[in-house]
Amino acid sequence: MGRSFLALLRRDITLALRRRTDVLTTLFFFVIVVSLFPLGVGSEREVLRLLGPGVVWVAALLASMLALERLFAADYEDGTLEQLLLAGQPLALLVLAKVLAHWLLTGLPVVLIAPLIGMQYYLPQTAILMMMLALLVGTPVLSLIGAIGAALTLGLRGGGILLSLLVLPLYVPVLIYGSGAVSVSTIAAAESQPYLFLLGAFLVLALVFAPLASAAALRISLE
């Protein structure tokens, strides 16, 4: 079981690294969206500091969602996905491997580039650290929930737009606590720990239930 998990993880990462543009496109999408806001709302320091956490989280949401379409699509087209369904391994575990690979390639780069974005928005150092931490805990939840939507819309016409309609409402709690953690960390009196704990709780819940739901969705889509 562990070996099939690792094998699939390694395969997905290798495949993605052979086509680096896919990974980089998501990252640059994130950077561009975040950089557009100061141009749109004006570059006053106070305004940007206020907007920063929310903008970064919304951009991370959109970037993660755009990349979701590719999560199962290639494997679905060339028939690999059917073989995964037929394999004698628990499908939820294989889905988890794919989601983990997806997060390593789209979520983790966003976490790593966050300090740069934080500086664009004049966030103080504590807030930048908190933003990295919150993104580190929160973005896997986005990938896990998004996998359900990606599995449900597999091979549909206009699947991308439909996917956003299904998945974005479910992202709301992560958005609220993620940006909440960063905003609160700039206030001296407030404590941002509860926000992180709640994000962690979402992560645990999503880790347990989302792979099962995605596996069920894949079986429905490939029936």
Partner 1 sequence: MQLNWFRFAAPANFYPLAGRLVPIFGVIAAVTVLIGLYWGFFETPDRLGGTNPQKEYYRIIFIHVPAAWLSMWLYVVLAGWCAIGLVFNTRLSYMMANAVAPTGALFTFLALWTGALWGRPSWGTYWDWDPRLTSELILFFLYIGYLALHSAIDDARRADKAAALLALVGLVCVPVIYWSINCPDPNQCAALHQRSSLTQMEPNILSAMLTMTFGLWMYSFASAFARLRGIILEREAESTWVQELVAPASREAIR
Nearest residue (CB) to partner 1, 120 versus 179: 179
Stretch that binds partner 1, among 5-13, 30-38, 52-60, 168-176 (CB under 8 A): 168-176
Distance CA 198, CA 114 (A): 21
Distance CA 197, CA 54 (A): 19
150 CB burial (10 A radius; 0-12, 13-18, 19+): buried
Q: Exactly one of 1, 112, 165, 208 binds partner 1 (CB under 8 A); which one?
A: 165
By CB under 8 A, is residue 32 in contact with partner 1? no
By CB under 8 A, is residue 208 in contact with partner 1? no
Q: Could you tell me the two tokens for 170?
A: 């479910």
By CB under 8 A, is residue 108 in contact with partner 1? no
By CB under 8 A, is residue 157 in contact with partner 1? yes
Shortest Å distance, C-beta 66 to partner 1: 18
> Residue 198: CB partners within 8 Å, gap ≥ 6?
177
By CB under 8 A, is residue 198 in contact with partner 1? yes
By CB under 8 A, is residue 180 in contact with partner 1? yes
3-state secondary structure of 14: helix
3-state secondary structure of 151: helix
By CB under 8 A, is residue 196 in contact with partner 1? no
